[in-house]
Chains A and B, each alone.
Chain A
Amino acid sequence: MLRFENISMVYRTDSVETHALREFSLEVEEGDFVAVTGPSGSGKTTFLNIAGLLERFTSGRYILDGKDVSALSDAETSRVRNEKIGFIFQSFNLIPDLNIFDNVDVPLRYRGFNAAERKRRIESTLETVGLTSRMTHLPAQLSGGQQQRVAIARALAGNPRFLLADEPTGNLDSKMAMSIMDLIKSINMAGTTIIMVTHDDTLASMARHNVHIRDGRVSDAESDFQLADVATA
């Protein structure tokens, strides 16, 4: 489903080389819910950015949904992101000028759906996250938890195969965080593969599997299933 084969990511400046990922290998099965944990600077976010095709890696191979996406063009990666991947960010990243309806509409616009189809999907996903009554509100008029629900609705509207969540509860209080986690779990139960980066061991324990990253590599000792059993490129 999602397969990293010996992926390395090196950030270079004039004088410094930083290895964010070192021959990182991982395979996530369809329908799984994987929590990625690790200390700050371990490479969690880099992993998530590469998984979401937001960054190009230095070496290795990335197979997504059976297809090598290592060297796709900008337009192709955009299409893959739009059709197969949903993002949930720590700081919600809603567009402040757009109301809730229009925020959820953004990925659907780039998908090319007609107005009726977009409306149906927006209303359906907002109903899933319990915000149909707030469709005309601006993000600033909602609480943090509600904003994250909108972000989840936006991620789900295009019916993606993967949901990539980067500290999805990082900006929420514990009650709100649990509510969002319940929602994410229910989405996973409905069949969407979820990869969630988190610092919080409690939240990580709610995932089916845990992957611990340390120094840009999967730490087998601290992960709860055999992850690196993949062929090297």
Chain B
Amino acid sequence: MFRYYFKLGWLSIRNNPLLSALMVAAIAVGIGASMTTITVNYTMSNNPIPHKSDELYYVQLDNWDPNQDDDGAFEPPDQVTYTDAMVLMKARKAFRQVASNRSSLVLEPDNQDERPFMVDTRNTWADFFPMFEPPFLHGSGWDASADENLERVVVLSREINEQLFGGENSVGRSVRLNGMDFRVVGVLDEWLPIPKFYDVTNNPWSEPEEVYIPFNVAIENELPRSGNTNCWKPVDGNGFEAFKTSECVWIQFWAELRNADEEREYMQFLNAYVEQQKELGRFPRPLNNRLDDVMEWMEREEVVEEDAQVLMGLSLLFLGVCLLNTIGLLLAKFLRRTGDISVRRALGARKSDLFAQHMTEAGMIGLGGGLLGVALTLLGLKGIELLFGDMVDNLVSMDWVMVLTAIALAVVSALLAGLYPTWQACRIMPASQLKTQ
């Protein structure tokens, strides 16, 4: 019977094009508005590395001003100092660990005709690659000995490799960064973790860096930094050496801990380290170290912004208003059809038959609204992109899950909107209508 109801629904929509178009438009506008904000929230709350997000822990050490408590919770800083990062790296107490920061270097192409350009760079350690699992197109990451021996090695993003080497396997080739030659050991494939979980202290919606070099090489050569740096004490002295020993935080630290025992032991290690540092006059605040897995860290950093959630609530209310309009329009449409309904009742249709027929039509209108709503959502996301630019580049795309969600939401909404009009239509007493037609 569903095909029959589908045919009847199509006939009804075709024979009332204006009314049908109004209903489709009402649902589409509601879906477009709500799905735009839902998509942004969905993308924001995405788990970027679902198979091991509960094994990767972000480390926070509460080395901050005891008199500064902006939010009343004595939150530890969201990065660590160079001093602490080096201690944690050398201790190697986790299964894997990585300290990293963002920088921006000048890349000089081999071709003299091409001008040097800036590349986003991540200064990191060998464990970065097995921990965060970026896919490789060619080669691999470097090994721990490269970190220790200050080897000038580099991993390129796919885009930079295409730009410099036309997409060829460039492993073994040389890349000149800030006047120094780096040997290519690996080329990444497309990699777009959303959000960019390994560094949310900078824009979590930006793309991963274009080149990756050993952290120690960057330090040794005093390469420039471009990420966030916060200090609660003035730097004691001038120059890079003074900065390295300062209490400024600018490094993100991650540890890979495979089970609860490893997590507990690592926390004990962190606490012991901080207690020891307290004796040396550092860490003036009470002990408050933290280990957050990926999703806990995203939540703590409020990657899903409150504004976005409020906006999503408002847009869902707007969808409700659109549905109220649809209810009115469906009611008008269905009740105009009392003759048809009465004849069908006289010919043997049960109320449930008529219910199914009208709900099918409501569902079809919802489907139309959903498809148009997807188009409006894409338009809305484009508008956000135009409004906020690069900051939201990776937030404003719709995957298949969201497309299907939009259509499903539209159909369900239309079915809900259709319940009351359909119920009213099914209540029509056929005898009162058949004589008066």
Contacts and interface: CB of A to CB of B under 8 A. Distances in A.
Interface of A: 45, 49, 52, 54-55, 74-75, 78-79, 81-83, 87, 89-91, 93-95, 97-98, 106-107, 109-111, 154, 158, 166
Given A54-B430, A54-B434, A91-B437, A74 B4 contact: no
B345 interface: yes
Contacts of A106: 343-344, 347
Interface stretch (B101-109, B323-331, B349-357, B406-414): B349-357
B149 interface: no
A220 B233 CA distance: 114
Instruction: Tell me which of B346, B431, B437 has the highest count of chain A C-beta atoms within 10 A of its own C-beta.
Output: B346
A166 B4 CA distance: 29
Contact of B343 (A49, A83, A95, A158): A95
Contacts of A166: 434-435
Interface of B: 1, 4, 11-12, 15, 339-340, 342-353, 429-431, 434-435, 437
A93 B434 contact: yes
A78 B349 contact: yes
B434 A95 contact: no
A75 B352 CA distance: 8
A58 to B, nearest CB: 14
Nearest to B344: A106
Contacts of B429: 54-55
Given A93-B437, A97-B11, A82 B431 contact: no
Given A54-B429, A83-B348, A90-B435, 14 more contacts: A54-B434, A75-B351, A75-B352, A78-B350, A81-B348, A87-B346, A93-B434, A93-B437, A94-B343, A95-B343, A95-B344, A109-B4, A111-B348, A158-B348
A93 B434 CA distance: 7
Contacts of B344: 95, 106, 110
B431 to A, nearest CB: 4
Given A45-B435, A91-B437, A52 B346 contact: yes
A95 B435 contact: no
The list of the 6 closest CB pairs from A to B, nearest first, reads: A82-B348, A107-B347, A54-B431, A49-B431, A110-B348, A78-B350
Contacts, number: 72
Nearest to A81: B348
Contacts of A95: 340, 343-344
14 contacts: A54-B346, A75-B350, A75-B351, A82-B348, A87-B346, A93-B339, A93-B434, A97-B340, A109-B4, A110-B350, A110-B353, A111-B348, A166-B434, A166-B435
Which of the listed residues B11, B349, B351, B431 has the most CB atoms from chain A within 10 Å of its own CB? B431
A18 to B, nearest CB: 14
Contact of B15 (A79, A89, A97, A110): A97
Nearest to B433: A93
Nearest to B436: A91
B429 to A, nearest CB: 7
A79 B348 contact: yes
B352 A81 contact: no
B347 A81 contact: yes
Contact of B348 (A45, A49, A91, A107): A107
A82 B434 contact: no
Contacts of A154: 347
Contacts of A109: 1, 4
Contacts of B1: 109
Nearest to B426: A74
Contacts of A45: 435
B118 to A, nearest CB: 66
Contacts of B11: 97-98
Given A90-B435, A95-B340, A82 B12 contact: no
B348 A78 contact: yes
Contacts of B430: 54
Contacts of B431: 49, 54-55
Nearest to A166: B435
A94 B342 CA distance: 11
A154 B347 CA distance: 9
A155 to B, nearest CB: 8
A77 B207 CA distance: 67
Contacts of B339: 93
A90 B436 CA distance: 9
Contacts of A90: 435
A81 B343 CA distance: 12
A69 to B, nearest CB: 14
Contacts of A75: 350-352
Which of A52, A55, A81, A93 counts the most B-chain CB atoms under 10 A from its CB? A93
A114 B42 CA distance: 47
Contact of B351 (A55, A74, A87, A98): A74
A89 B346 CA distance: 11
Contacts of A111: 348
Contact of B434 (A83, A89, A97, A110): A89
Contacts of B4: 109
B284 to A, nearest CB: 79
B9 to A, nearest CB: 11
A49 B347 CA distance: 13
Contact of B437 (A83, A89, A110): A89
A169 B304 CA distance: 72
A203 to B, nearest CB: 18
A87 B345 CA distance: 11
A120 to B, nearest CB: 18
A165 to B, nearest CB: 12
A25 to B, nearest CB: 21
A88 to B, nearest CB: 10
A109 B354 CA distance: 12
